[in-house]
Amino acid sequence: MESANSQKTHSGEWLKIGSVNDIPKLGARVVQTGEYDIAVFRTAADTIFALRDECPHKQGPLSQGIVQGDRVACPLHDWKINLESGNAVAPDVGCTATFPVKIENNTVFLSLQANEGCPNKQTT
């Protein structure tokens, strides 16, 4: 079935990112918004998550980290960031903005409208 490049929804526009297989397993694909980058991650179970590509610690590029379960390890100082909530795993404290994703017919769509509740920064 053909998919449109984008669809309007109540939360804004969905961007077509590509197929699930276009995202490296345990890695990420970067989407540039002009303002900042968004890292779209793929877990071992082929679950897709999208986070702003900035670690809440010192803005490390999370897209270059390794996915471990439902977390990504920041490549700079090894903070672990929960892919679903964007929260740093204790004892570290901080939050990275998360973005809605959906998969239709094995195609990944990303919303550029961040989920609420995360300031995308270290909170201590």
Point out which residues bind ligand FES (CB under 6 A): 55, 57-58, 60, 74, 76-77, 79
Question: Taking the complex as a whole, how short is the minimal distance between the CB of residue 56 and ligand FES, in angstroms?
Answer: 8
Question: Taking the complex as a whole, how short is the minimal distance between the CB of residue 103 and ligand FES, in angstroms?
Answer: 28
Q: Which two tokens stand for residue 118?
A: 């995360």
Phi, psi of 75 (to 5 degrees): -70, -15
Rounded distance between C-alpha atoms, residue 42 and residue 25, angstroms: 5
Rounded distance between C-alpha atoms, residue 62 and residue 67, angstroms: 10
Pair type for strands 71-73 and 80-82: antiparallel
Select 15 or 72, whichever has its Cβ closest to ligand FES.
Answer: 72
What type of residue sits at position 93?
Answer: V
Select 14 or 54, whichever has its Cβ closest to ligand FES.
Answer: 54
Q: Which of 76, 74, 69, 33 is nearest to 49 (CA)?
A: 69
Select 75 or 100, whichever has its Cβ closest to ligand FES.
Answer: 75
Question: Taking the complex as a whole, how short is the minimal distance between the CB of residue 87 and ligand FES, in angstroms?
Answer: 13
Question: Taking the complex as a whole, how short is the minimal distance between the CB of residue 86 and ligand FES, in angstroms?
Answer: 13
Select 74 or 101, whichever has its Cβ closest to ligand FES.
Answer: 74
